[in-house]
Amino acid sequence: MDEIRPNSGAQAHGLVPLFPPGLQAIYGECRRLYPDQANPLQVTAIVKYWLGGPDPLDYISMYRNMGCAAQDVQEHWHYVSFGLSDLYGDNRVHEFTGTDGPSGFGFELTFRLKREVGETAPPTWPAELMQGLARYVFQSENTFCSGDHVSWHSPLDNSESRIQHMLLTEDPQMHPIQTPFGTVSFLQIVGVCAEELQASQQWNGQGILELIAGGPWLITDMRRGETIFEIDPHLQQERVDQGIETEGSNLSGVSAKCVWDDLSRPPDDEEDSRSICIGSQPRRLSNKDTEQIRETLRKGLEFNSKAALPPISSQKQNHDRAQSRKDSLESESSAAIVPHELVRTRQLESVHLKFNQESGTLLPLCLRGRLLHGRHFTYKSINGDTAITFVSTGVEGAFATEEHPYAAHGPWLQILLTEEFVEQMLGDLHELGSRDESKLPKEYSWPEKKLKISILPDSVFDNPLQ
């Protein structure tokens, strides 16, 4: 439960001797932007998270930003969170690991909301939105990065707005800071429509953000009634399609509702992968596999500042593309995956993949935006340790090979697809762009490849024992 109160002027200027240093550092960056707003309104967690409260963010400060007429930036409310980074340095919330690395999770959230005419105080619903995102980070230990997307599936302000999803990018005004407990960057939430979210998944968040209305500071207007594709349908779609064709997709992994079956073994085989499917006791991923998948997901949801692939020319020919393919399942911070010696890698003859509707609509993205550009794509189950990674022939560090394209390491399945088979699958899966769940289930089968894919209703995954 939160309360709204003005920030203490003494605290805002750091006059209290025991004022937490991490908090002080963030306030310092806020004072740089808002020197005349020493006492902003704050939404404050009544019972702090470290005392057993439900809200991880201790505070959300709300500032009035006058915009910038020269850059066509309109007046808006600017929200800044306190709590994803280490505010205290005494291990009450975050483990202190030194000043060289990230402070806590290494970032705080911000949000810019268009100020409506006659509005004298900032709406407080963005604070609850930020608390919800923070709860996800604390519970999952998955951090956000610039370029991430968040599928929310509900108007951000609980109205009838079309703004129902979010992209994350670097705050255009707030600079990364060095605190006594490490570094902190500021990630800004940007509200988007469903069509814009889907385009960001197919291409990348940065490309879509450059097209979205809201000015260079990416202010969210909850009353925006048109998507970028409705405002300028031909030009915007053409730019997105060109981006996907030349650059591929930056998204290399999603949390999803998915399972897989090994069809090449009898049901009563104790080694059968059915033991990791819905309704059964799942095997556990090894720590190394879990870290590998988490790193794959993390890398895929951030901008490719260190691109795994060299730029692909828009004039590329097939032989050029083949030479440029070099992606890796190897983490930037760890060695390439070496299967845990206690969990052997199994080669499978035939597999059956099952996805819910939302996950299924991403299959064309996986194939066109990732595999045709020599990359990989991972579905990580939200219901257990199951993971499905599609890899192209150019991906290094994979345990699936052209000779044995289906390979499992515990509950982690890898599927290697050749370019020819990817093109065939794209033709067969073209209708997956439709989200009409009344047409479920959908079945796709390639008997010569011993591969089957089913798109099933959410109820199958939500009620596995029915």
Residue pointed to by tokens 């394209």: 405
- The model's pLDDT over 265-281, given as tens digits with 9 standing for 90+, comes to 765 544 443 333 333 33
Residue 264 and residue 213 share a domain: no
pLDDT given for residue 13 in this prediction: 41
Least confident of 107-116, 222-231, 409-418: 222-231
**Which pLDDT does position 197 carry in this prediction?**
87
**Per-residue pLDDT, 195:** 86
On whether both 257 and 161 belong to a single domain, the answer is no
**Same domain for 224 and 103:** yes
The 10s digit of each residue's pLDDT in 289-337 is 566 565 655 544 333 322 222 222 222 233 333 333 345 554 322 223 3
Q: What is the pLDDT of residues 35-91, one digit of tens each?
A: 999 999 999 999 999 999 999 999 999 999 999 989 989 999 999 999 999 999 999
pLDDT band at 160 (very low <50, low <70, confident <90, very high): very high
Instruction: Report the pLDDT value the prediction gives residue 413, as an integer from 0 to 100.
Output: 95
The residue among 183 and 331 whose pLDDT is bigger is: 183
CA pair distance 389, 380, nearest whole angstrom: 8
Say if residue 87 is in the same domain as residue 196.
Answer: yes
CATH number of the domain that residue 381 is part of: 3.30.1360.230
Residue type, 307: A
Same-domain pairing of 236 and 258: no
- Is 68 a member of any domain? yes
Give the whole-angstrom CA distance, residue 129 versus residue 55.
11
pLDDT at 324: 37
Give φ, ψ of 66 to 5 degrees: -80, 0
Q: How many domains does the chain have?
A: 2
Does residue 181 belong to any structural domain of this protein? yes
Cα-based torsion angle of the residue sequence 346, 253, 367, 337 in order, rounded to the nearest 10 degrees? -40
d(CA 218, CA 176): 18
Q: Tell me, what's the pLDDT at 334?
A: 27
Segments forming the whole domain that contains residue 390: 253-270+284-301+344-460
- The whole-number pLDDT of residue 37 equals 97
Mean pLDDT of the chain: 80
pLDDT of residue 330: 41
Is residue 228, in this structure, part of any structural domain at all? yes
